Each structure stands twice: as C-alpha cells, then as structure tokens.
Amino acid sequence: MRDVAVLGVGITQFGELWESSLRELGIQAGLEAMRDAGIRSDEIDALFVGNMAAGRLIDQTHIGALIADHAGLAGRNVPAVTIECADASGAAAFHHAYLSVASGLHDVVIVGGAEKMTDLPDEEVTEIMATSLDQQWEAFFGATLFSEYAMIARRHMHEYGTTREQLAAVAVKNHAHGALNPKAQFQRPIKLETVQNAPAVAEPLGVLDCAPISDGAAALVLCSADRARKASDSYVRVIASAQAGDTLAMHSRGGLCSFNATRAAMEKALKLAGKSRNEIDLAEVHDVTTISEILAIEDLGFFPKGEGGRAAESKITAIGGELPVNTSGGLKARGHPLGATGIAQVIELVQQLKGKAGKRQVKSARLGLAHNIGGCGATAFVHILEAV
C-alpha cells in the first residue's frame, strides 16, 4: 500500500438550507475541493459518495451517479459509487476512497458526503434515523436513535456517577467551538442551564444534548502522497483508516457503557499509523448526543472509563485544553447531515493540521484523529491524519 494525501477540501454551510437541493450541495462541496486541490475534472479517476438515506429523505437513490452527472464527470464515464454505513457513511466512503488510492488502482479521487434532511417533517426524519438500529427488534418497539443513547446515558450515570451537568458541559463546549466555525449550523455559545432546562427528547437527554437535523455536503480530493508532494507543499497525509463492527442491536452486547467497535477500530488505527494515542493533538469524535462524546473519548482510550464526563467539565477537551475534542463544533453544533459528517470531520482535521482553522486553531497540531459511528455503535471508523 502506498501513502495517501488529502490534496484539497470543500464544505458547504451546514444547517436548514431550504433553497438548496442535495445535488447542488454535493456539487458545491466537490467543486470547492477541486479548486482547493488545484486539479481539473479530467484528472479524476473515481468518485465516492457517503450517503445514508436519500432513498427515503428525498426519494432518490443512486447518489453517486447523480453527483457525478451534475458535476460533469459522467461525460468521461468516471465511475461513481454511493457507500452506506448509516451515519458513518461519510467515514466509510473516505475509507474506501483511501483504499482505492493506497492500492494503486486510482491516482486521484474525490470523496464526498451529503445529506438533505429538511425536506421531511421531524417525525419522519426520526423514523428514518431509527432505521440504523435493528428495525425488527429495537425500532419496531418504539426505540429511536436518541432513546438508545438516553439509555446509555442513564446507565453511565448509574455505573460511573456521570452527572447531568457533565452531559451538558459537552454541549456547552461544542457550541462554544461551533461559534468559531463559520460553516457550523449553530454559531452561538449556550449556557449550562439552557442545556439542562431544554425540552426533553428522551430522558435524561434534552434537545440541546442531541445533534440537529441538518442539510450539508463536504468533499475531499485524495491522491498518492508522491503526487501531492509534486503538486503542493501544503497537504496532509492519511496515516491510518480503520473500521470495526459490533452487533446491530445495542441490547445484544455485553454492556451499555462502551462501544467495542470504537475500541477495536482505535487499536487497528494506532497500529496502522505506528503511533500511540498520547501523540494525538486533537480529535473529532461522534457526538451525536452529549453522552456519545463521553463514551467516545473513553473508548478511544484518551480517558479512563467513567472519566469522560469530567474531561468536558474541566475543559481538558476544549480548545486550549490538553486534548481539544470537536473543535469544529462537532455533530452537536456544526450539524449532522448524516452522510456528510464523516467527511466534515476529516476536513476539520485537515484545516487544523494546515494551520488554517482561524479562530479555533489548535496550536502546533501535528496529528489529528476522526471517529465516526454508524447508528448506535454497530459500526465505528477511526482515521488518523498527519501534517506534512
């Protein structure tokens, strides 16, 4: 396998984008990534798109072909594929795009993620998001994605003494980070009391503990590191991309307070990268709820089990802390257009590692980690990127 680099990035505004369609968002992100990379469309060997649910959200499947067509790639018969791993679809597309370049099959590829969620009423979006659980044995009985995470939260509080304030501290931190990100859906700091007093979604989680419904797209140009070296002195290397899985239904696992898929993906990624976890300078993790970030930073091994809540509360994971987590605002504040999230995470790392993250810049960041979960922990991806 050869070394792979990120040559360019593009990302749309995340939010409720009533005036934009999925195809417009996807193309906007893709063209921006190509401009950033300084490549022409006739240099692209393949397109990979992460998308979870366009078949139900906008009645359109075959999203790879849709984006390739309207980006002008269809005329050259460029292959395009859509990849689905629930809300880890973006990370999955990245993983397979990475493999296609690392293997030598392709030299230059575009990998994007896109989702258009606001064309349907909330209760239908909630139903569609719950299809990432076990439809017949969880969702059928009334479970939603957030009710699953709520049960993790209650159990985590029970076993480790995690507090309601610690959950809220994650949201406060990520909204503070989002306020520094011009592409974020929410760019306003919020107070601890506001999170705690927000209307309940699934107790103990309230509206501000949960990622919003979002539209958005993000794209990257990947190429061999050799090519990147010739083209630019400003690129980022992908030094690991790993995936692990677990049972589809959360109740089939040994416990509720840990995602073994995250642990396994992290071990694989560290081994591939030849790094130890204490070398990581910043992480974008899957905070689809506040408890999700706590679980993630514990399962990635950054904090002992049960200490994740204290990490947010004591500002260790804030910008300026020892290990900044979700400097983009995370899924919570940047927004969570399902298939786009995994790509947006990598873009945040690229911007940080290039020193181009503006007001949210982490000083002298060299190694960044992205962690994307599908559903309630049946799929986990971990990628590690290094500044060149």
Partner 1 sequence: MTGMAGVRFWRETDSRYNLAGNRCGNCGTVYFPPRPVCLKCHRESLGKMVELRLKGTGEVLSFTVVHETKRNFEIQLPYIMAIIRMDEGPALTAQLVDCSPGEVKIGSRVRAVFRRIGEEGRAGVIYYGYKFVLV
Task: Please count the helices (runs of H) and the strands (runs of E) in the chain.
Answer: 14, 11
The dihedral through the CA atoms of 41, 42, 43, 47 has a sign that is positive
The verdict on 193 binding partner 1 (CB under 8 A) reads: no
Distance CA 102, CA 218 (A): 21
Return the number of the residue (115 or 246) whose C-beta is nearest partner 1. Answer: 246
The verdict on 127 binding partner 1 (CB under 8 A) reads: yes
Binding-site member from 46, 151, 316, 362 for partner 1 (CB under 8 A): 151
Query: Which residues fall within 8 angstroms of residue 157, CB to CB, at 6 or more apart?
Result: 163, 164, 204
Task: State the binding string over 204-233 for partner 1 (x if CB under 8 A, else -).
Answer: xx----------------------------
Q: Which stretch binds partner 1 (CB under 8 A): 8-16, 67-75, 198-206, 332-340?
A: 198-206
The verdict on 250 binding partner 1 (CB under 8 A) reads: yes
Distance CA 258, CA 293 (A): 11
- The residue count for binding partner 1 (CB under 8 A) is 36
Note whether 228 and 5 are within 8 A (CB). Answer: yes
Note whether 310 and 173 are within 8 A (CB). Answer: no
Return the number of the residue (136 or 197) whose C-beta is nearest partner 1. Answer: 136
Q: Which stretch binds partner 1 (CB under 8 A): 199-207, 284-292, 296-304, 324-332?
A: 199-207
Return the number of the residue (21 or 126) whose C-beta is nearest partner 1. Answer: 126
Return the number of the residue (3 or 119) whose C-beta is nearest partner 1. Answer: 119
Binding-site member from 16, 42, 193, 203 for partner 1 (CB under 8 A): 203
Note whether 324 and 334 are within 8 A (CB). Answer: no
Q: Which helix (H) or strand (E) holds 370?
A: strand 367-374
Q: Which helix (H) or strand (E) holds 8?
A: strand 4-11
Q: Which stretch binds partner 1 (CB under 8 A): 136-144, 292-300, 317-325, 331-339?
A: 136-144
Instruction: Kindly state the smallest distance separating residue 217's Cβ from partner 1, in Å.
Output: 25
Provide the H-helix boundaries in the chain. Answer: 22-37, 54-57, 63-70, 89-102, 122-129, 145-160, 164-178, 192-197, 225-231, 260-273, 290-299, 308-313, 330-334, 338-353
Name which of residues 12 to 41 contact partner 1 (CB under 8 A).
Answer: none
Collapsed DSSP state (helix, strand, coil) of residue 111: strand
The verdict on 251 binding partner 1 (CB under 8 A) reads: yes
Binding-site member from 52, 53, 85, 130 for partner 1 (CB under 8 A): 130
Q: Which stretch binds partner 1 (CB under 8 A): 234-242, 246-254, 323-331, 339-347?
A: 246-254
* Site residues, partner 1 (CB under 8 A): 122-124, 126-127, 130, 136-144, 146-147, 150-152, 154-155, 158, 199-205, 247, 249-252, 256
